[in-house]
A and B are shown apart, each in its own frame.
Chain A
């Protein structure tokens, strides 16, 4: 069984919670407690159709105000696949939560109300999905029951979607489908109301998408910790523990340690009591080297030297996530994987409004939820790849050294 990570975004009235609830319900994945809660809340509110929103809105404030404040994680599985849904709010003031939800996903589901067409938040959500280079975006034209399952309405919106996605260089696999999450059309079961639609149901699509494969063959390994053991069985044992960010490593490979540039040979790969001959992206392992070279947390093991990794000047797109504004020459702690370095915000080159990326403009500071192109200078190299070549090794966060808050996420150019 494999694992697919999905994100959804939108406000309550989009029917997003209803869609998730419908999906779980029709996939027979709700627990008895959830079913009882839905039935009870539906009755309390005097609703005609089942109120599925109670499943996703987990906080007291969310239930009181009827809004989604933060990312909720929903877990379920069918016979073939396990799903993790990061369900995030869609309003502009929650852009940071949307980015958070999307950062660990492979697929975005974007809901569009058939009566309203593309809204500002549709553009924002697609922009973020594209910025984060997700593999697949599924547009669900929802509430088709309220437009009499009209093919014309559907086609008009699909044309608008094509226009929007044509503006971007990163093009994920795109699906557009007509649904009614309230009534269940094309969510898990094929609808009889849309004979003109020949595509798959949402469930069908989510079951056929291939889970993420690594972006690149380039070996990248963050050293999390150095482990030492001295006992009867393991004499002078010294290994580097970490998770392979990308690529593959084999016993016998020559690797180089950054920043020193010193090389050595891999003599052992360890996973608990196993010592496999190779390991690949995503695996948490220990690596032992033939020679004792100075290696500690914050260093990186690679196979082929690449000068760009040692650069201290970083051009990046950032999403500002803090109430405290950023101004040029502000100092932050940059963290990428397990590596950190003090950095300075050299310049803010342009702010990009996600609703309308063409209206790019200059700015002297960054406010909460701004998306901008910036230049940073780090005190030491942090070995970043370009985000478009390597998602995991091309992203970083900025930490405010006074408050310790995560104030921005960045994607290196």
Chain B
């Protein structure tokens, strides 16, 4: 039995594993891309990619599918980060897919562009010929994600077949695909929300300001606080308020709920998250549509 000098902390183990996966994607595929949303998970992915190749530059571009309903703070942060890292940023707009009549804008109180992103994403994959898309999805986020492989093969139409997943064993990742297929790779599959926050804190990684307590104009709807924006269809029962909140997870302005909180340091945020006992996905209104909402979107090509 080998002598162990010191067992690395679990976070070190997770970082080593993620860097290994990111390098595998870069080595096994012709045209990989990192899907970047400007949220904390993709910011963590950007940091891991930087660490995987430094002093070399990150050898793949970032792709942002812009729904047009993003928080302006996120976009500002995104542009700053890609400039610092010196990576190429590709942006494709859901608005273009709407204008091309490929998708139809949802109507009514719960209208959101979240599901529409899939079409724009699949078009971008085809346009650039991306054969691997890395995402910051984690298995602890949601039940169908818990079932997904780290290398998840999608067919020509971007679809996920949960019953036909390749066995994934030890440290061996099979990235062989046919022309037209692509792989969605999830290097931080084994991280939890708490791991991500701990890592951000430990590494001193910057985040968009919306993650910290700030004063904001909000729409109170069905007991949840949504950021007020011109994209939200306001109905009679909605109440407009202004208070101090933060966001725990960041999607579109139309489908991400805010937490009333004064936490402005990462330690405070972590403490609050832990004591709330609630999962971050609870703030994603798009997932609450039905128990199988995310699995169904994933089958259709959503990442």
Interface residues of A (CB under 8 A from B): 1-3, 30-34, 55, 57-61, 63, 69-75, 77, 82, 84, 96-97, 99-100, 103-104, 211, 213-217, 224-225, 227-229, 231, 233-234, 237, 241-243, 245-248, 271-273, 280-284, 297, 321, 333, 335-338, 391-392, 395-397, 399, 404-406, 409
Q: What are 5 sample pairs from A and B whose C-beta atoms fall under 8 A apart?
A: A3-B13, A32-B278, A61-B162, A215-B2, A237-B56
A76 to B11, CA, bound (A): 14
Decide if B223 is an interface residue (CB 8 Å cutoff): no
Apart from A31-B282, A74-B146, list 14 A-B contacts with CB within 8 A. A33-B281, A55-B143, A59-B143, A72-B143, A73-B190, A213-B1, A225-B23, A227-B56, A229-B55, A246-B2, A271-B51, A283-B8, A395-B172, A397-B174
Do B172 and A234 touch across chains, with their CB atoms under 8 A apart? Answer: no
Do B2 and A60 touch across chains, with their CB atoms under 8 A apart? Answer: no
What residue of chain B has the Cβ atom nearest to residue A402's Cβ? B178
By DSSP majority rule, is chain A's interface helix, strand, loop, or mixed? mixed
Give, as a whole number of angstroms, the nearest-CB distance from A31 to chain B.
4
What residue of chain A has the Cβ atom nearest to residue B162's Cβ? A59
Contacts of A70 in B (CB 8 A): 147, 162-163, 165
Do B139 and A75 touch across chains, with their CB atoms under 8 A apart? Answer: yes
Do A335 and B277 touch across chains, with their CB atoms under 8 A apart? Answer: no
A237 to B56, CA, bound (A): 9
Contacts of A33 in B (CB 8 A): 278-279, 281-282
- Do A104 and B170 contact each other (CB < 8 Å), given the known contacts A32-B277, A73-B146? yes
Within 267-283 of B, Cβ neighbours of A (below 8 Å) are at 276-279, 281-282
Give, as a whole number of angstroms, the nearest-CB distance from B153 to chain A.
8
What residue of chain B has the Cβ atom nearest to residue A395's Cβ? B170
Do A69 and B282 touch across chains, with their CB atoms under 8 A apart? Answer: no
A138 to B52, CA, bound (A): 37
Contacts of B146 in A (CB 8 A): 58, 72-74
A74 to B295, CA, bound (A): 17
A129 to B120, CA, bound (A): 45
Do B4 and A321 touch across chains, with their CB atoms under 8 A apart? Answer: no
A405 to B55, CA, bound (A): 35
**A-B pairs, 3 with minimum CB distance:** A58-B143, A3-B10, A284-B19
Do A60 and B292 touch across chains, with their CB atoms under 8 A apart? Answer: yes
Do B277 and A60 touch across chains, with their CB atoms under 8 A apart? Answer: no
Contacts of B17 in A (CB 8 A): 284
Do B174 and A404 touch across chains, with their CB atoms under 8 A apart? Answer: yes
Interface size counted on chain B using CB atoms at 8 A = 63
Contacts of A333 in B (CB 8 A): 176
Contacts of B7 in A (CB 8 A): 2, 211, 213
A31 to B277, CA, bound (A): 5
Decide if B53 is an interface residue (CB 8 Å cutoff): yes
What residue of chain A has the Cβ atom nearest to residue B50's Cβ? A272
Do A284 and B23 touch across chains, with their CB atoms under 8 A apart? Answer: yes
A59 to B279, CA, bound (A): 19
Do B23 and A224 touch across chains, with their CB atoms under 8 A apart? Answer: yes
Contacts of A61 in B (CB 8 A): 162-163
A194 to B123, CA, bound (A): 62
Decide if B262 is an interface residue (CB 8 Å cutoff): no
Contacts of B14 in A (CB 8 A): 3
Contacts of A399 in B (CB 8 A): 174, 176
Contacts of B192 in A (CB 8 A): 75, 77, 82
Give, as a whole number of angstroms, the nearest-CB distance from B109 to chain A.
22
Do B143 and A234 touch across chains, with their CB atoms under 8 A apart? Answer: no
Contact of B55 among A3, A99, A234 (CB under 8 A): A234
Contacts of B50 in A (CB 8 A): 272
Contacts of B10 in A (CB 8 A): 1-3, 82
Decide if B105 is an interface residue (CB 8 Å cutoff): no
A361 to B177, CA, bound (A): 36
Contacts of A406 in B (CB 8 A): 166-169, 174
Do B27 and A297 touch across chains, with their CB atoms under 8 A apart? Answer: yes
Do A72 and B147 touch across chains, with their CB atoms under 8 A apart? Answer: yes
Contact of B172 among A32, A97, A241, A396 (CB under 8 A): A396
Contact of A224 among B27, B142, B145, B189 (CB under 8 A): B27
A211 to B7, CA, bound (A): 9
Decide if B20 is an interface residue (CB 8 Å cutoff): yes
Contacts of B177 in A (CB 8 A): 404
Decide if B235 is an interface residue (CB 8 Å cutoff): no
What residue of chain B has the Cβ atom nearest to residue A234's Cβ? B55
What are the interface flags for B128-156 relative to A under an 8 Å C-beta threshold, 1 for contact and 0 otherwise?
A: 00000000000110111111000000000
